[in-house]
Amino acid sequence: MEKDNANPTILNTSQLPTRQRKKGRRVQRTAESKILDIMRKPQYLSDSLYGFGTSWSDDTESDDEFAAEPIDEQEVYDLISTISDPEHPLSLGQLAVVNLPDIHISPSPSVDADPNTLTQVLVKITPTITHCSLATVIGLGIRVRLEQALPPNYRVDVVIKEGTHSQDDQVNKQLADKERVAAALENDTLKGVLDKMLETCI
In a domain, 56, yes or no: yes
**How far is 11 from 98, CA to CA, in rounded Å?**
12
Q: List the end-to-end C-alpha distance of the chain, in Å, as a whole number.
A: 29
Domain boundary among 16, 46, 66: 66
Give the range of the structural domain holding residue 162, as residue numbers without chain letter.
Answer: 69-198
pLDDT for the residue 131: 92
Q: 78 and 62 in one domain? A: no
C-alpha–C-alpha distance, residues 155 and 117, integer Å: 11
User: What pLDDT does residue 112 have?
Assistant: 79
Considering the domain architecture, whether residues 113 and 60 belong to the same structural domain is answered as no
Q: What is the pLDDT of residue 23?
A: 40
Alpha carbons 132 and 130: distance in angstroms, whole number: 6
- Tell me, yes or no, whether 98 and 110 share the same domain: yes
Tell me, yes or no, whether 191 lies in a domain: yes
* Predicted local distance difference test score (pLDDT) of residue 108: 87
Each residue's pLDDT expressed in tens, for the chain with a length of 202 residues: 455 566 667 777 776 777 654 443 344 444 554 444 545 544 544 454 444 444 444 455 555 555 668 899 999 999 999 999 999 889 999 999 999 999 999 998 887 778 788 999 999 999 999 999 999 999 999 999 999 999 999 999 999 999 999 999 999 999 999 898 899 889 999 999 999 999 988 6
Do residues 60 and 112 share a domain? no
Domain count, the chain: 2
Could you give the C-alpha distances from 172 to 35, 80, 167, 168, 193, in angstroms and in order? 63, 18, 9, 6, 20
Is residue 86 within 8 A of residue 134, CB to CB? The reply is: yes
Contact by Cβ (8 Å): 122, 104 = yes
pTM over 0.85, yes/no: no
> Does residue 24 lie in a domain region?
no
Last residue of a domain, one of 49, 66, 83: 66
pLDDT in tens, 113-158: 787 889 999 999 999 999 999 999 999 999 999 999 999 999 999 9
**Residue 1 resides in a domain:** no
Same domain for 38 and 115, yes or no, is no
pLDDT of 11 reads 76
Say yes or no: 93 and 146 in one domain: yes
**Boundary-marking domain end, from 12, 39, 66:** 66
The total of other beta-carbon atoms located within 10 Å of residue 16's CB is: 18
